[in-house]
Chains A and B, each alone.
Chain A
Amino acid sequence: MFLIECPWCGMRDETEFSCFGEAHIARPLETEKLSDEEWADYLFMRKNPKGAHREQWLHAAGCRRYFNAERDTVSYQISATYKIGEKPPGGSRK
């Protein structure tokens, strides 16, 4: 079982959390100028990497706040959690 460190509440059991998928997807500006391809990319296309992944989690049965986590999708090891708006600790990655 996972233990997940909520940036506000500390270490808690994974059953208190829900995962909300890929993090750092910015809503495009000037959406009226987007092509269908650009909309599709924003709405549907995902990195889905095998390895290090940044994703949004919600501490659903706790403080009910969102935060980001960096987690390996093969070992499931979480290397860091950080607040929304903060820079990922591992530096920027594509």
Chain B
Amino acid sequence: MSKYSIFSLLRNAISYHENWASAWRSPEPKKEYDVLIVGGGGHGLATAYYLAKEHGITNVAVLEKGWIGGGNTGRNTTIVRSNYLWDESAHLYEKSMQLWEGLSQDLNYNVMFSQRGVYNLGHNLQDMRDIQRRVNANRLNGIDGQVVMPEEIKRAIPEINIDQGCRYPILGASFQPRGGVARHDAVAWGFARGADMRGVDIIQNCEVTAIKQKNGAVTGVETTRGTINAKKIGVVVAGHCSVLAEMAGFRMPIESHPLQALVSEPIKPVINTVIMSNAVHGYISQSDKGDLVIGAGIDSYNGYGQRGSFPTIEHTVAAIVEMFPIFKRVRMNRQWGGIVDTTPDACPIIGNTPINGLYFNCGWGTGGFKATPGSGWVFAHNVATGEPHELNRAFALDRFVSGFLIDEHGAAGVAH
């Protein structure tokens, strides 16, 4: 596998870019691996990458039922930030942020990480109190953040409506300058290429249909491409984690919901940052192509259909138009949904399960894209050593038994 550089670009220009080698192989699955990762989203691929890179475990396969990155990884609005309230989440997301900051170099793959800043708007006094509390907590944890007032927001985003007479007036915001966006597909592809280079087999169109166990320990999986054995299995299937847990014979505190996003026709540059509002369930940024990228809230019912309801979109678009009246006549081009795995405390579940050798990493719900590198990094440690890393210990499944929930609902907001 050749390194991407200005020289490889020039070399390939001579052959009209027709001879680039594929970024990863597509091998036949072997009968047995040291570790299987189920789910080829960003988190699964990052886990495989760090297993190989940090722990020297390279006899690994990633089993993906469709194509890699085709789940929530390729469907999300790509907002990255680390300004979570509680210490446990702040440390985990900040680890991820630090990995993002060097990721393109580390992977030798441009993930287009752009630290254009993220605003979280407040619309009433309680929102503002929560924002102040969260920014203070962030700064105590060494995470950048500031509270900004409407005039300041207006200076940075001239098109925003700070009229105090509307239904949800903007009273202020938290601003994390290091937040931003990344290119979702590139994240999946970059991790896939990095893992493949180190010997990991990426097996697409391979759905896991059963988890085999003996004496309370896993021995392998049944798949649509045959039986594959391994003594360690990491399950990273987002919205399908309850389905996999049922195969293994235990229950999860998870409900899967549709979550939607939409993009507009491309327009000239108008927003150079990310604006989110939890209160009205809308968030918006602009892609390099010029489309406005808009995310909605979840549908209230459970759903595996990768599509959501029209009223939810209508609600979001109404909120966006109140924030940005100038977008009233922009046409929307495409709309889609993902299946998000929500937990009772809006925090992920990462770690050991009741079955030996079986590890789960799920429950990222509406906001796990930002955690992709950090999640893979801690989970690789957990799978490699059999014990959680300090950064993911608090996110164990048994917190629902002990009662040590990490309630990120209010402060982190419902979304992203």
Contacts and interface: CB of A to CB of B under 8 A. Distances in A.
Interface of A: 1-2, 14-15, 18-19, 21, 36-37, 39-41, 43-50, 53, 55, 71, 73-76
A1 B344 CA distance: 27
B402 A36 contact: yes
A39 B242 CA distance: 19
B257 to A, nearest CB: 10
13 contacts: A36-B401, A40-B400, A45-B400, A46-B251, A47-B242, A47-B251, A48-B242, A48-B252, A48-B302, A53-B302, A55-B301, A73-B256, A74-B305
A-B pairs, 8 with minimum CB distance: A44-B253, A48-B242, A45-B251, A19-B301, A40-B401, A19-B300, A44-B400, A40-B400
A18 B302 contact: no
Interface string B372-399: 0000000000000000000000000000
B302 A73 contact: yes
B206 interface: no
Contacts of B311: 1, 14-15
Interface of B: 240, 242-243, 251-256, 300-305, 309-311, 344, 400-403
Contact of B305 (A1, A43, A55, A75): A75
A63 to B, nearest CB: 18
B251 A41 contact: yes
A40 B310 CA distance: 35
A49 B301 contact: no
A75 B253 CA distance: 23
A45 B301 contact: no
A73 B304 contact: yes
A45 B253 contact: yes
A45 B304 CA distance: 18
A48 B309 contact: no
Nearest to B243: A50
Max count, chain A CB within 10 A of own CB: residue among B253, B256, B301:
B301
B160 to A, nearest CB: 28
B113 to A, nearest CB: 33
